[in-house]
Chain A
Amino acid sequence: MIRVDQILPTLAYGDAIGNEALHMQRIIQSWGYESSIYTINSDPRLTNHVRPYSEYRRDSTAEDLLIFHYAIGSEVTEYVRRLPNRMLLIYHNITPHEYFEGISDEAAALTKQGRDELLMLRDRATLAVGDSEYSRQELVELGFSNTGVLPLILDFSRYQTEPNPEVLEKFHDEAVNIISVGRFAPNKRLDQLIRLFAHYKRRKQPNARLFLVGSFVDFQRFYAYLVWLAQILAVDDIYFVARSDGRSVPTPDLIAYYKLGSVYVSMSEHEGFCVPLVESMVFGLPIMAYNSSAVPFTLGDSGILFNSKNYEELSETIDLLQTDHTLRRRIIDRQRQRLPAFDILRLEPLFRACVEQVIASEPPHVYW
């Protein structure tokens, strides 16, 4: 019996890709294959699950199949390129490095390296799948010949967790709560979201809050800018919900904010998949999202897409979602109808088909 292993630079707890890798490992094992996860470094709480990537060659034979989660540049790419194994590349997309210039030199360098190195895998991947149609199109543009789409596999059981009652209690009132979830990364344009909120609160609905739930460790400078922006706009009730130790916000808290939310707003200009959109669908939160990158593919035909960031119109749209109950209900229903697309019942056979297609292929020609 061959092995089906996964390799990725970092396995972070609470990170969408890390979560997917852990979930996939369980699925692969349920098919009867042996399966480990190889990384450079990982969250200390997960060390039991993973092995150092440099051990992979020793642990495996050329017959084994390797799944490479690709989201950033690292030494792993070169290592993987020289392996004799058949490879399923899962491309989680990479934020264009321009967004990080002047904010995080490290992130700018790693994302740029990530895009450059991806080309090295063009003739190496047996099958390359994007986690969205947007990512797949990018693979095709880069010259990958055998491509597909495998939406991000999410662990929906996580959303059964009880929300943190303290959070629910603290903000239990009539206020309009605007929610945005994700790393405080420049491409997400939280600066514009703060401006929109300032507009909405000052000119439309004074009884409003903005919850920015995420993490700021990688982009301290951007976070400082956001805090400064909130100050000079003299707008209250903006909550930066993040932990200073860099870990992600605990699941019960995250769920509490989704439950408190009146609307989910995304101003993001680049998303490889955008998990919070699916989470908003789960928690019945109407979505308003800027039409960019993978966003329309993840939304399918649900939610509200906007093509220009006109704060006046967006403020009115937020307001409309609070006052027009028929519209609100219809949007939420339509979002819920979108959920089966991400259900494991649908994704597992898709994932299996990808793995089997790679197993049935010829081993690659590897040039050292």
Chain B
Amino acid sequence: MSSIEIRDPKIDAKKIVEQIRAKVRQKRQAELENLLERRFDPPLPVSEDELEVKRSLTEANREWDVQVGKQILSNRPIIGGLLRRIRRLLQTEIRWTLDPILERQIAFNVHAVQVLNGLAAAKNEIRSSLADLHTSASIIAAAHLDLGDRQEEMDSEAKDKLAKVNSTLSETDLALSEVKGRLDKHDFANLKFDYPKFQEEYRGSREEIVRRQAAYIDYFKGCKNVLDFGCGRGEFLELLKQNGIGSYGIETDERMVELCKSRGLDARRGDVLSHLQSLPDETLDGVFSAQVVEHMLPADLLEIIALSYRKLMPGGFFVAETVNPSSLYTFSHAFYVDLTHVKPIHPQALLFLLRMNGFRDVAAEFSSLPPPEERLQSVPVDNKAGSLEGLNENLRKLNDAIWGPQDYAAIGKK
């Protein structure tokens, strides 16, 4: 914002501001020069009285010696010689009595004149110091004035800036609350969505899931402390328990946690990231999750994998089952059925992440082929129609592409 506003199209306000600023600069320069000049001003003017005193001092310096050294002369004829003789006699006689007094007077005069000379010198010194002080005082006064002005300027500038900061802050607050509002919408925990019921209907029955997940038990045989993050209804926890494997689940949905608890399973409500962070290193002997990572933002997933590696004891397995996007079938039948899915995670991406974080023996295990009747059927082959084999081969590829396995699990060992 310009410092001065004149809202008149006929007046060039910008030019006037420039003109004013130039004048301010000019004035500052002139004042500075003036101050510098004043330093070399002649000392304070000398008054008439002072000149008189000066003259008296000069006199005093000349007249301090009151010795009577006058030569006795007389030019009168005849009696001149007699007079001279009488006067010399008198002079000699008077000297006898006066000289001691005069000597003391001279001694006094000498001291007095010296004192006066000293005082006069001191006075001159004081005078020139005073002149210096005057100069300094005027410099200080000008500087003080300047400082006062600057202070006011800075005060008002600071105030302006503070107001700007405040308004930016309130704008930021506003933006923040908007962002928070939007984020809240992305947080599925805030959705008024009955996820347990949805799972019941679309994920498959509990028994079906238990049956599917039984294949993963081998990775955790003999373990004592397996973490199932996003344990949901607790199917895998139950499997682990049945196999005598020590385990617990972490789940954000309170209803799921309650469901698990009612089945006597150790499920705790919480966020897996902060839970993993809170654990001492190398305390888990297995990490499992089924159909969870596709609900996560990539940044969270990266961190969870890194943390899992740190928290796993050497030899422990990390198993994460998710929807397999390399089967096109999953897009029409699985992935987009669930509103809370963030993005599908390609097996190559997940395997890469595991390897990158130090897991070894990294592999993908595919499961849940679509029902065979939904896949293309091969055409019977006779001897003549060798080309039919190629057709079948194509059909097989087509099947893989469209009706490939629906899920995969990424597995790694520390």
Contacts and interface: CB of A to CB of B under 8 A. Distances in A.
Contact of B3 (A199, A313, A330): A313
A156 B145 CA distance: 42
Given A195-B148, A203-B31, A305 B5 contact: yes
A36 interface: no
A301 B24 contact: no
Nearest to A310: B153
B1 A307 contact: yes
Contact of B6 (A204, A310, A331): A331
A267 B152 CA distance: 13
B197 interface: no
A271 to B, nearest CB: 17
A316 B156 contact: no
A312 B27 contact: yes
Contacts of B160: 307-308
A195 B152 contact: yes
A322 to B, nearest CB: 13
Contact of A327 (B2, B5, B11, B153): B11
Nearest to A320: B20
A41 interface: no
A204 B5 contact: no
Contact of A316 (B7, B11, B23, B157): B23
B46 interface: no
Contact of B145 (A199, A291, A310, A317): A199
A313 B20 contact: yes
Contacts of B19: 320
A140 interface: no
Nearest to A312: B24
Interface in B115-164: 145, 148-149, 152-153, 156-157, 160
A306 interface: yes
A313 B145 contact: no
A304 interface: yes
Interface in B1-40: 1-8, 10-11, 16-17, 19-21, 23-24, 27-28, 31
Nearest to B28: A312
A312 B145 CA distance: 11
B20 A316 contact: yes
A268 to B, nearest CB: 13
A313 B16 contact: no
Contacts of A306: 3-5
A53 interface: no
A92 to B, nearest CB: 24
B27 A202 contact: no
A308 to B, nearest CB: 5
A334 interface: yes
B147 to A, nearest CB: 12
Contacts of A301: 7-8
B156 to A, nearest CB: 4
Given A320-B20, A327-B11, A330-B11, A312 B149 contact: yes
Contacts of B20: 313, 316-317, 320
Nearest to B11: A330
B137 to A, nearest CB: 13
A327 B10 contact: no
Contact of A307 (B5, B8, B28, B153): B5
Interface in B181-231: none
A307 B4 contact: yes
Contacts of B28: 312
A306 B2 CA distance: 8
A309 interface: yes
Interface of B: 1-8, 10-11, 16-17, 19-21, 23-24, 27-28, 31, 145, 148-149, 152-153, 156-157, 160
19 contacts: A204-B27, A300-B7, A301-B8, A304-B5, A304-B6, A305-B6, A305-B7, A306-B4, A307-B2, A309-B153, A310-B156, A312-B149, A313-B17, A313-B20, A313-B24, A316-B27, A320-B23, A327-B11, A331-B8
- 7 pairs of A and B residues whose beta carbons are closest in the complex: A301-B7, A305-B5, A316-B20, A309-B156, A312-B24, A316-B23, A311-B149
